Amino acid sequence: MRSLRFQLICLWLLLFGVSAGLAAVMVTLYRSSAGEQVAAGRAAAEQSCRAIAARYARSVPDATQAQPQLDLLQVLLQLVLIEAPYVEGGIWQASGGLLAYAYPTYEGSGVKRDIPQAEQPFIVELAQQAARTQQAQTDVVRGSREALIVSSCPLAAPGKDLAAWTMTRTHAGALAAQNSLRTGLAVLMGVVLASGLWLGLILLRGLRHVQHLETRLAEAADDAVPVLDRTGVRELDRIVDAFNRYRLRFEEASAQLREAGQQRSRDQRLTALGRMSGGIAHEIRNPIATMRLKAENALAASPEQQATALRAIVGQIDRLEGLVQSLLALVQPVTLAPQLVDLRQWLAERRQAVAGRAAAKDVDIHLQHSGASQARFDPVHMARAIDNLLDNAVRHAPPGSSVVLAAAAAETGSLLFRVDDTGTGVPEALQARLFEPFATGRADGTGLGLALAREVALAHGGELRYVARQPGTRFELELPWRTS
């Protein structure tokens, strides 16, 4: 049960089930109390009626030929009903009406001898049915305060018009009990509905606050942690306060991390600067030594031979100028001017930029592109980085082979440029300092191209990495993919 909504619904269903169970118990208790009293009264009335019929059959052996004697009937009723508490009864005949009546267990101040007037029509009707059908009849009339139970049994008589009747009452106010039951069920149902409404309001309120917090988090920038407002719900506010405290700690940690990163970057730059100083000294010393040698030879040679020396000196000066330009590009901060770039067209331009050198070495350049057609980055600086990678790949690719320039979406959702060749690969001893200035495996190389490409990648918030292949080399330049 991970969802608060699911848990509240389960709680409401549990409450509803308990209430339904209580309602069933109430109905069962009502039926068992009122119904049992009516059943007990019915059994008493029917048993008393049968007892009167049996006693009458024993007392009057030839009852089908003789007319009933009133004194005998009165005594017979008295003897039978004295053993049936709260049961009254009598004898009815079609020609004589109500012949006898007795209520020996009556709790009044005197002997009750008058038949209740209100019940007489009902008694007569039931006695007529018993005499006519010659079968016992029982009926129950439920009132507001009591239930009236009347039973009638046929007696032997010449005209088959004689019947005994008994009557009793149950004082368990049936209608009042029903009203109480209805009231109880209504109250119970009202409690269930009120609790469901209350739980629903709690759920909606909680979900509304949760949705507000979710919206605040979703609207925050990628690298920002928003301040969450308190909701007024104590449990949620504890989470909000904890999140806000975490935000403060996160911002402090981020600031310390940025400071540490800047310090690390400064340390790396100083370390690289030390290595670069040695490389610069080496790269400058060789051309100067060459120019000095050429100049000394020119001074000692004839004027016709001086032109050759001067051309060699100019070549060394061009080499120094290229070195200085590369150094300036490397040490100066990369100032980006991002813009929306059509990737297919830009990749085609990169292939065209090295097409001459590739054709001279009989190397084909294949383009691969998948994903979005546009991305936002600095096309000028990125062109310098990719051109350096392509130039490096063309230099190391064997004649007749191919170089692949690909752009696609990485699994992390970033933009991935990939340059593959099938050359000999990077020596293992050089891999650890591959992206440092003047780290190169070529005698005529400066090692500044990969360092410059890495600086461009870092300036865009990405990275440049080397991936060994068998055979060949792969460089992956990964950038955050931005389209706006």
Taking CA atoms, 5 is separated from 201, 369, 396, 419, in Å, by 11, 46, 63, 52
**Beta-bridge mates of residue 100:** 91
What pLDDT score does 125 carry? 92
In the structure encoding, which two tokens stand for residue 440, read together? 């190169």
Torsion of CA 282, 287, 289, 290, to 10 degrees: 140
pLDDT in tens, 9-54: 777 787 777 777 777 766 666 655 667 788 888 999 999 999 998 8
What pLDDT score does 270 carry? 62
Closest CA to 453 of 421, 472, 478, 429: 478
Helices within 220-336 (DSSP H only): 234-300, 303-331
Q: Domain 334-479 classified CATH 3.30.565.10?
A: yes
Whether 2 shows a pLDDT value over 60: the answer reads no
What pLDDT score does 152 carry? 94
Helices within 301-415 (DSSP H only): 303-331, 343-353, 355-360, 379-396
Spatial separation of the C-alpha atoms in residues 381 and 447, rounded to whole Å: 18
> Under DSSP, is residue 153 helix (H, G, I), strand (E, B) or coil?
strand
The angle at the Cα of 336, spanning 333 to 341, to the nearest 5 degrees, equals 150
Task: Give the confidence band of 455 by pLDDT, cuts at 50, 70, 90.
Answer: confident
pTM of the model: 0.39
8 A C-beta contact, residue 45 and residue 138: yes
Specify the DSSP element, H or E, that contains 398.
Answer: none
Residue 131 buriedness (CB in 10 A; 0-12 / 13-18 / 19+): buried
Q: Which residue has the higher pLDDT, 310 or 166?
A: 166
Spatial separation of the C-alpha atoms in residues 429 and 440, rounded to whole Å: 11
Options 3.40.640.10, 3.30.450.20, 3.30.1360.20, 3.50.50.60; CATH for 4-177 is 3.30.450.20
How many CB atoms are closer than 10 A to CB 220? 12
What pLDDT score does 30 carry? 60
Torsion of CA 468, 471, 472, 473, to 10 degrees: -10
Task: Give the confidence band of 1 by pLDDT, cuts at 50, 70, 90.
Answer: very low
